[in-house]
Structure 1
Amino acid sequence: MRFDEFQTHRQQQLAADPSLLDAAETNVYRALAPLRPEPPADGSAGGDGDGGRTVYRCDLARAWLRRYGLPEAWSRRAMVGRGVRHGLDLLFRHLHGTGARLWLPADVYPVYFDLARAAGLAPGSYPTLPAPVLPPDPSDGECPEYLLLANPSKPLGRHLTDAECAALTGWLERSAHRRLLIDAVYDLDTPFAPGTRRLLDTGRAVLLHSVTKGWLHPRSFGIVLLGPDDTAAAEAFRGDPPAQQQLRLAESLLADHPDTPRQVAAALADRAERLFARLPAEVRAAVPAAARTSPGNYFFPVAVPAPALLAEHGVLALPATAFGASTWPGSVLTSLADAFAPSAPTVQNAPSTQNAPTVEATR
């Protein structure tokens, strides 16, 4: 069942039986709206006018590198864009021009495939549920080859393990033509997770990050940190920059709201505990410990089919197929529904959610 099909099914089920435990909400922007920082007072987050001073991309790149404990000398490789989706769109178009082979996770984010195909690529896939399984080595080892992964990963709800990072490093070492693309949009901590830093240290990884999850501002600002040998892609980013309104918003988020990602992670941890408290004991026991303890996580895979959770426990969960072409029969619980919200908002002057994205899929 695809994501859009499941959303229709979910609404039908909740309308027919309001007593169901809704563990299938995916709109983090609506759930955490009180934590979303207000745009700068000059209104620079929206509209087409200039309306303010000039913000330079190089300054934002250095500010982002400082925040995440990365060398400021890498600023020439830190491409400023409008988020992970925008970065992938430009990268995929560049890869098509080089004749590269691309591997995508089959069951993480269906839009990965949409972006790749729109760029003219014919991506291969590999599963991540219930654990990542890297693609086989091709017979043609001379073709440029890129593998996209997410760390932390939805819907696994956890970071890569040491063994998985070792497997990825081994995959790189088996061909000089291989590179990694790391989507770190769900990493709310500073610095980035040890596994991400370990893979960056190979010198053969591209890192993508944005303010989408940590600051709840989708499609506004992101960074693509190119690898030392991937700088040929830089020209595409220089030719398609964010608007000044978006750059001023990014400056405000990084400078004036540095604690928001921690607040988001804390709010999600509270919601997770409320979810676990409402789950039947045997369902709660099926949640992997790594997902349950991962900071800022709101995806919890369980090796129980969604229809069984619904019929036997009255729990509405997402089937794994909502995330892509998964053959894993399990399902994914989320902690974003109103049932897991705090009893009263803790932040004043919450912005309107009228224009918030209606699905989690925005990055």
Structure 2
Amino acid sequence: MKFDEFQEFRQRQLSAHSSLLDAAETNVYRALAPIRPQPPSDMSTVHRCDLARAWLRRFELPEAWSGHAMVCRGVRHGLSTIFRRLHGVQARLWLPSDVYPVYFELARAAGLEPASYPTLPAPALPRSPVDHRPEYLLLANPSKPLGRYLSDVECAAVISWLGESPLRRVLIDSVYDLGVPFAAGTRRLLDTGRGVLLHSVTKGWLWPRTFGVVLLSPAQAELAEAFRSEPPTSAQLRLADRLLTEHRDVPRQVVAELAVRAERLFERLPDEVLKAIPMVSRTCPGNYFFPVEVPAETLQREYGVLATPVSVFGESNWSGSILTSLADAFGPTPTTAR
């Protein structure tokens, strides 16, 4: 069941069964709308170089890296730009099959035919033989709907994969990382000199497709020129400046609100269902996706819980499902029905 199909199914089920616990809402912007900062009203000029330095300071990264911190319009825009370059050099691209269908849409729009690897119930990295082509692995850290950061063992496996060929690189989608500094695993991957970090204000400040940064390695000057030729609008730059300066605390507020919502979800779940959620997902800061080793059909039929099928996130052979903590029932004024 794809995303749009499931949304129609979800509304039908909630309308027909008033006692059904809605643990399948995925729209974080609607759920946390009161926290989202308002855009600025002034028309001041903001320069990309200043924003790059502000972003580096915000995430405790060296300001000397500003020449490699490419300002863009968000992770989607960043990936589109990178994917076009990968097509030009006939690179091989690996995408997670069960994280975000848009990854595949962007890759195919750039002319790529990506290969895939699963992340549920745990990431299983590709074991492809080394060849003469550049090879890129895209991963999310933290990953959704896995609902956690990469483990030390998983990071070590990625580093080992990189070490098998000087033509291998890793693309790190860190949009769900709401902490400062970035996760230790992300920093370990950057320290290899083979990582490209993608981040934006989408989740931390609840402003999608507005502003992001792609942190390149020094050896990727050809990508830098592609980003410089496609800047955000002046309004997007002004908004980003306001978010990074006047609203620095918003990501912390988002994490705090999501923690409260997660606890309300856990309180409403039957013990058997709660125990089927990995503890590492339950305790990951800022998480609202909780994988559970129970099929969605079973959760609804036996426990009265509406969950999201894994197929909404992409192709998967895993039999479990995903719970979320974004529905009205877990908000500031909890309700028992919709």
Indicate the TM-score class for this superposition, using the shorter chain for normalisation.
over 0.9
- Post-superposition shift, 1:136? 1.4
Cα distance in 1, alignment partners of residues 132 and 254 from structure 2? 44
Cα distance in 2, alignment partners of residues 324 and 286 from structure 1? 22
Residue 11 of structure 2 aligns to a residue in which SS? helix
> 2:26 corresponds to which residue?
26
Picking from 176, 185, 199, the partner of 2:189 is: 199
Cα distance in 1, alignment partners of residues 41 and 225 from structure 2? 33
Matched, 1:317 2:307: yes
Picking from 227, 236, 246, the partner of 2:236 is: 246
Q: How does 1:223-238 map to 2 (within 5 A)?
A: 223-238=213-228
Q: Normalized against structure 1, the TM-score is what?
A: 0.91
- Post-superposition shift, 1:121? 0.2
> 1:5 corresponds to which residue?
5
- Post-superposition shift, 1:53? 2.2
> 2:16 corresponds to which residue?
16
Residue 192 of structure 1 aligns to a residue in which SS? coil
Letter matched to residue 330 of structure 1: G
> 1:82 corresponds to which residue?
73
> 1:57 corresponds to which residue?
48
- Post-superposition shift, 1:92? 0.4
Q: In 2, are the aligned partners of 1:105 and 1:125 still within 8 Å (CA)?
A: yes
> 2:40 corresponds to which residue?
40
Cα distance in 1, alignment partners of residues 333 and 252 from structure 2? 20
- Post-superposition shift, 1:137? 2.0
Cα distance in 2, alignment partners of residues 217 and 63 from structure 1? 17
Cα distance in 2, alignment partners of residues 88 and 153 from structure 1? 16
Cα distance in 2, alignment partners of residues 87 and 288 from structure 1? 32
> 2:322 corresponds to which residue?
332
- What runs of 5+ residues in structure 2 fail to find an aligned partner? none
Letter matched to residue 84 of structure 1: V
Picking from 57, 66, 72, the partner of 2:63 is: 72
Q: How does 1:148-227 map to 2 (within 5 A)?
A: 148-227=138-217
Cα distance in 2, alignment partners of residues 13 and 173 from structure 1? 49
1:195-228 CA deviation, whole Å, 9 max, x = no partner? 0001000000000000000000111100000122
Residue 94 of structure 2 aligns to a residue in which SS? strand
> 2:291 corresponds to which residue?
301
Letter matched to residue 285 of structure 2: P
> 2:108 corresponds to which residue?
117
When the two chains are superposed, the root-mean-square deviation of aligned CA atoms in Å is: 0.9
Cα distance in 2, alignment partners of residues 87 and 313 from structure 1? 41
Residue 125 of structure 1 aligns to a residue in which SS? strand
Q: Normalized against structure 2, the TM-score is what?
A: 0.98
220-229 vs 23-32, which moves further: 220-229
Cα distance in 2, alignment partners of residues 152 and 280 from structure 1? 26
Q: In 2, are the aligned partners of 1:303 and 1:331 still within 8 Å (CA)?
A: yes
Cα distance in 1, alignment partners of residues 17 and 218 from structure 2? 55
Cα distance in 1, alignment partners of residues 208 and 44 from structure 2? 23
Letter matched to residue 115 of structure 2: G
> 1:349 corresponds to which residue?
none
Letter matched to residue 88 of structure 1: L
Q: In 2, are the aligned partners of 1:204 and 1:229 still within 8 Å (CA)?
A: no
- Post-superposition shift, 1:40? 1.0
1:214-249 CA deviation, whole Å, 9 max, x = no partner? 000111100000122222111111111000000000
Residue 242 of structure 1 aligns to a residue in which SS? coil
Q: In 2, are the aligned partners of 1:21 and 1:314 still within 8 Å (CA)?
A: yes
- Post-superposition shift, 1:54? 1.4
- Deviating beyond 6 angstroms after TM superposition, the runs of 4 or more aligned structure 1 residues are none
Q: In 2, are the aligned partners of 1:204 and 1:228 still within 8 Å (CA)?
A: no
Letter matched to residue 252 of structure 1: R
Q: Identical aligned pairs, as a percentage? A: 70
Cα distance in 2, alignment partners of residues 129 and 256 from structure 1? 38
Picking from 136, 140, 162, the partner of 2:127 is: 136
- Post-superposition shift, 1:174? 0.6
Letter matched to residue 338 of structure 1: D
> 2:280 corresponds to which residue?
290
Cα distance in 2, alignment partners of residues 303 and 159 from structure 1? 19
Letter matched to residue 3 of structure 2: F
Cα distance in 2, alignment partners of residues 305 and 236 from structure 1? 44
Residue 209 of structure 1 aligns to a residue in which SS? strand
Letter matched to residue 126 of structure 2: P
Cα distance in 2, alignment partners of residues 79 and 231 from structure 1? 11
Letter matched to residue 26 of structure 1: T
